[in-house]
Structure 1
Amino acid sequence: MRHLAIEAGCPPAQLALAWLLARPEQIVPLPGTRRRTHLDDNLAAPSVRLTPDQCRAVSEAVPEAFGARVPDLSRLEQ
């Protein structure tokens, strides 16, 4: 994904955040931040404008998620 970030003119983590923000689903990414420079990159992610082709390329580069997304809370409902 590094080559896609270079093409977009941003660091890979910033590209990933911009891609999440550009998706039609309502996603609220909560990135971890250990350094001030990472915070600056995270805050700048909404200003990264990805073309439809760039969004498609990132989608193809990211493996499909699988498995349970929500923990089983049925025991708590008893």
Structure 2
Amino acid sequence: SHPRFMGDNFTKNLELVKEIEKIAEKKGVTASQLCLAWVLAQGENIVVIPGTKKIKYLEENVHASNVKLTTEELAEIRKIIDSIEITGNRYPEALQKVMYIILKTIFGSSTLHNTA
């Protein structure tokens, strides 16, 4: 279980989801498509790697490449992201420590900050 999706953290982090869903609804796309389109809009050197377990969501994700975001929409999404603090660690503490050790081995300690 991931700390971000438990208890009060889950409730607090849903604020971001609700705001993204509002923008997606106005645009006539799903929240997933909006998020993928936002990632794609971050630059030519960005590759999205969405995960899914169902074909219908894969098809939905593919259509995200057709979603074009205006400068205003990108700014609105950025404002929302910057205004909502995500609470809870991304991974359980034990896993964070293991990941830190692995990444430190691969990239060296000078490029990493231990948040575990």
Per the TM superposition, whether the score is higher than 0.5 is: yes
| Unaligned stretches of 5+ residues in structure 1 | none
Number of aligned residues: 71
| Structure 2 CA distance for partners of 1:6 and 1:46, relative to 1, 3 Å | same
Larger Rg: 2
What's the TM-score, normalizing by structure 1?
Answer: 0.76
Structure 1 residue corresponding to 2:69, chosen from 35, 42, 50:
50
- If each structure's helix is expressed as a fraction of its own residues, which one has the higher value? 2
Distance 2:42 2:53 in 1: 26
The amino acid across from 1:57 in the alignment is E
| Unaligned stretches of 5+ residues in structure 2 | 1-19, 87-99, 110-116
CA deviations over 1:30-63 (Å, ceiling 9, x no partner): 1101111110111001100111111111122225
Structure 2 residue corresponding to 1:18, chosen from 12, 37, 44:
37
The amino acid across from 1:15 in the alignment is L
Partner of 1:37: 56
Question: Deviation above 6 Å: which 4+ runs of structure 1?
Answer: none
Distance 2:81 2:54 in 1: 25
The amino acid across from 1:20 in the alignment is V
CA deviations over 1:4-50 (Å, ceiling 9, x no partner): 10112100011000011111362111110111111011100110011
RMSD: 2.4
**Identical amino acids, percent of aligned pairs:** 31
